[in-house]
């Protein structure tokens, strides 16, 4: 079936991060959500009282829409706590669009916050017990992605150096982002020779562990036109759920992005060739390679060659993860919302040194769990 | 069809009972399709599943070596079992870094820290 969402009918009008990196003792995920919300409201010129739809997720609270509504004193007409890992926020965009299209709310807030660096990753997102995996002590999520990388190398001849290229490219972009966590250049040799975590992945193949929050504000295209900044229209959305444990993933070298991507492209009426900016959830270096393939930027198995020789670095074939990515900018547990924030800024032309010239179509692809949930959002500077 | 009686037993309970008897069990659907992990009905069809014993032979589908501080490096692998399903386990009996995708392996039950037996695998020619 195809969805009945109306392409370009809703836009992201406000976008902001909270404080990122390492927060003061006692900071809560809600402090970060609230700070990002105020900044996103200031970004678009709307006020707290305008928000009548609330969409949240965090691994640190089971009932995060309740928590945020209490904190901010909101009484939304519509709320949604959908939690499927880092892709949750792309799913929230689709749900917010449905709610706005159907008159269930008018101004939707999507917010996220995490203090996983301050409180430790183990405390922020405790692993669930799986009777068929936990006894073998996989180091999750890293070992799952490591086995994906190992299989991709075996099937397609992807090399260790090609994986490292992804981390190096992310770092080069991060050096142009003033709020990125990493501040020093990185080389391929440094990636390969850093501490092995779960082979073939070293610590530099893995995303950062930081604190941080974000918020975006969505409203109808009609209302968006009168607000402060250029709207980022939602042109396409697509989701796919394929498994929860890595032993349940049908084929390790094909992610659900091969399903979510085509759904989003079909709704947007575009192809990968037309995309000016690809924001791909880089929890690990293999992700970028896999998503470039599954989202149609290169044929299956060619992702390694695509990223080689600075292919996704500044000046490469395609601008990818221009904020520096989860690998070098920030990664507070569930990173999806930050991909949307950077997409909005690039479409507006606010990115300074790292600005993609004539950026009109941006694809933000979220990933959750161990490649378990995939959700793609296509944004455009023109809604029609 | 007879409904799975969760008041008396669970899919995992049955599986673990087999493991304690040194048997690797899985489920088979009426269509002949193998199902793992154990469930109360077949995914997609809802058909009843019956238990079968595996010969315990398989091929490494993917593998990783985990390096934790204060712990010896160890292997975790996904094994494609010959009867047609995949499971997570470990390959032991060789250096964890020498485990290769495509390697033929055979099951053996091993007692873990919780005192229960779980299936792990050894390269086919090196079963002890």
- Tell me if B86 and A247 make a contact (CB, 8 A cut-off): yes
| Alpha helices, DSSP H, located in A73-198 | 88-101, 116-119, 121-124, 142-156, 160-174, 188-193
Using a CB-CB distance cutoff of 8 angstroms, which residues of chain B are in contact with residue A241? none
Which pLDDT band, with edges at 50, 70 and 90, does B1 fall under? Answer: low
Q: Of residues A122 and A6, which shows the higher confidence score?
A: A6
- Tell me if B78 and A246 make a contact (CB, 8 A cut-off): yes
pLDDT at B2 over 90: no
Closest Cβ–Cβ partner in A132, A133, A147 for B62: A147
Percentage of chain B beyond pLDDT 70 is 96
Using a CB-CB distance cutoff of 8 angstroms, which residues of chain A are in contact with residue B92? none
Closest Cβ–Cβ partner in A135, A154, A247 for B112: A135
Q: Active-site residue A30, yes or no?
A: no
In angstroms, rounded to a whole number, what is the distance separating the alpha carbons of residues A247 and A372?
Answer: 11
pLDDT of residue A1: 65
Q: Is A376 helix (H, G, I), strand (E, B) or coil?
A: strand
pLDDT in tens, A58-115: 999 999 999 999 999 999 999 999 999 999 999 999 999 999 999 999 999 999 999 9
DSSP codes joined into one string, A215-266: EEEEEEHHHHTTSSS--EEEEEEEEEE--SSGGG-S-TT--THHHHHHHHHH
Percentage of chain A beyond pLDDT 90 is 96
Which pLDDT band, with edges at 50, 70 and 90, does A366 fall under? Answer: very high
Both tokens of A335, joined, read: 């990173």
- Residue B46 CB neighbours (<10 A): 9
pLDDT at A202 over 60: yes
- Tell me if A151 and B62 make a contact (CB, 8 A cut-off): yes
In angstroms, rounded to a whole number, what is the distance separating the alpha carbons of residues A126 and A22?
Answer: 20
For residue A33, the cross-strand partners are none
Q: Is B60 helix (H, G, I), strand (E, B) or coil?
A: strand
Using a CB-CB distance cutoff of 8 angstroms, which residues of chain A are in contact with residue B61? 151, 252
Contacts of A330 (CB under 8 A, 6+ apart): A17, A20, A21, A179, A180, A181, A208, A210, A212, A338
Using a CB-CB distance cutoff of 8 angstroms, which residues of chain A are in contact with residue B120? 136
- Tell me if A136 and B88 make a contact (CB, 8 A cut-off): yes
pLDDT of residue B4: 85
B74–A contact, CB cutoff 8 A: yes
B59–A contact, CB cutoff 8 A: no
Degrees to nearest 5, angle at CA A378 with A46 and A102: 55
Both tokens of B87, joined, read: 């499971």
Using a CB-CB distance cutoff of 8 angstroms, which residues of chain B are in contact with residue A141? none
Using alpha carbons, list the distances in angstroms from residue A128 to A59, A86, A122, B64: 12, 16, 11, 21
Averaged pLDDT of chain A: 97
ipTM: 0.96
- Widest pairwise Cα distance in chain B: 51
pLDDT of residue B68: 96
DSSP-derived secondary structure letter, A170: H
DSSP-derived secondary structure letter, A131: T
Which pLDDT band, with edges at 50, 70 and 90, does B126 fall under? Answer: low
B43–A contact, CB cutoff 8 A: no
In angstroms, rounded to a whole number, what is the distance separating the alpha carbons of residues A18 and A112?
Answer: 9
pLDDT of residue A126: 83
- Tell me if B66 and A197 make a contact (CB, 8 A cut-off): yes
Contacts of A301 (CB under 8 A, 6+ apart): A155, A156, A158, A253, A293
Residue with tokens 């692809």, as numbered in its chain: A365
- Residue A162 CB neighbours (<10 A): 24
- Tell me if A143 and B12 make a contact (CB, 8 A cut-off): no
pLDDT of residue A254: 98
pLDDT of residue B27: 98
Using alpha carbons, list the distances in angstroms from residue A337 to A103, A277, A314, B46: 24, 16, 22, 37
pLDDT in tens, B73-124: 999 999 999 999 999 999 999 999 999 999 999 999 999 999 999 999 999 9
Q: Is A337 helix (H, G, I), strand (E, B) or coil?
A: helix
In angstroms, rounded to a whole number, what is the distance separating the alpha carbons of residues A18 and B32?
Answer: 54
> Model's pTM, two decimal places?
0.97
Query: Which residue out of B19, B37, B66, B73 would a mutagenesis test of the A interface target, given it has the greatest number of A Cβ atoms within 10 Å?
Result: B66
Closest approach of B56 to chain A, Cα-based (Å): 16
Using alpha carbons, list the distances in angstroms from residue A272 to A165, A231, A268, A368: 22, 22, 11, 22
For residue B87, the cross-strand partners are B79
């Amino acid at each position: 079936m195809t969805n009945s969402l109306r392409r370009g009918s809703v836009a992201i009008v406000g976008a902001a991060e909270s404080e990122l990196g390492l927060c003061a003792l006692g900071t809560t995920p809600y402090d970060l959500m609230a700070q990002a919300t105020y900044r996103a409201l200031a970004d678009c010129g709307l006020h707290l009282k305008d928000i009548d739809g609330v969409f949240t997720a965090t691994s640190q609270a089971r009932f995060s829409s309740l928590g945020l509504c209490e904190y901010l004193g909101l009484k939304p007409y519509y709320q949604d706590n959908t939690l499927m890992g880092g892709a949750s926020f792309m799913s929230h965009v689709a749900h917010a669009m449905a709610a706005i299209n159907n008159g269930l709310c008018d101004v939707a807030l999507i917010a996220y916050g995490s203090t996983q660096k301050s409180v430790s990753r183990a405390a922020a997102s405790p692993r669930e017990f799986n009777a068929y995996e936990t006894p073998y002590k996989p180091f999750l999520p890293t070992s799952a992605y490591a086995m994906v990388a190992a299989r991709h190398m075996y099937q397609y001849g992807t090399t260790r150096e090609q994986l490292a290229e992804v981390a190096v490219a992310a770092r080069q972009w991060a050096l142009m982002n003033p709020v990125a966590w990493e501040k020093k250049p990185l080389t391929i040799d440094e990636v390969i020779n850093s501490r092995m975590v779960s082979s073939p992945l070293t610590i530099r193949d893995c995303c950062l562990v930081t604190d941080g929050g974000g918020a975006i504000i969505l409203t109808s295209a009609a209302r968006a036109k009168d607000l402060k900044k250029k709207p980022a229209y939602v042109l396409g959305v697509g989701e796919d759920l394929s498994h929860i444990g890595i032993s349940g993933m049908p084929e390790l070298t094909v992610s659900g992005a091969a399903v979510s991507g085509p759904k989003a492209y079909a709704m947007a009426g575009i192809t990968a060739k037309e995309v000016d900016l690809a924001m791909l959830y880089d929890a690990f270096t293999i992700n970028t390679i896999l998503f470039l393939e599954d989202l149609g930027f290169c044929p299956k198995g060619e992702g390694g060659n695509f990223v080689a020789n600075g292919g996704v670095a500044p000046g490469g074939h395609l601008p990818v993860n221009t904020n520096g990515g989860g690998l070098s900018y920030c990664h507070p547990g569930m990173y999806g919302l930050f991909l949307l924030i950077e997409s909005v800024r690039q479409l507006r032309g606010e990115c300074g040194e790292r600005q993609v010239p004539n950026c009109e179509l941006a694809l933000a692809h979220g990933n959750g769990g161990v490649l378990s949930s995939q959700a793609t959002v296509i944004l455009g500077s023109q809604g029609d | 069809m007879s409904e799975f009686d969760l008041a008396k037993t669970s899919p995992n309970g049955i599986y673990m009972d087999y493991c304690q008897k040194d048997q690797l069990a899985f489920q088979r659907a009426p269509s002949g399709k193998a199902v793992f992990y154990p469930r109360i009905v077949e995914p997609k069809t809802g058909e009843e599943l019956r238990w079968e014993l595996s010969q315990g032979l398989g091929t490494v589908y993917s593998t990783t070596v985990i390096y934790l501080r204060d712990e010896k490096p160890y292997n975790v692998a996904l094994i494609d079992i010959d009867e047609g399903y995949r499971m997570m386990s470990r390959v032991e009996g060789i250096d964890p870094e020498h485990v290769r995708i495509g390697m033929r392996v055979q099951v053996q039950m091993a007692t873990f820290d919780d005192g229960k037996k779980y299936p792990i695998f050894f390269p086919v020619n090196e079963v002890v």
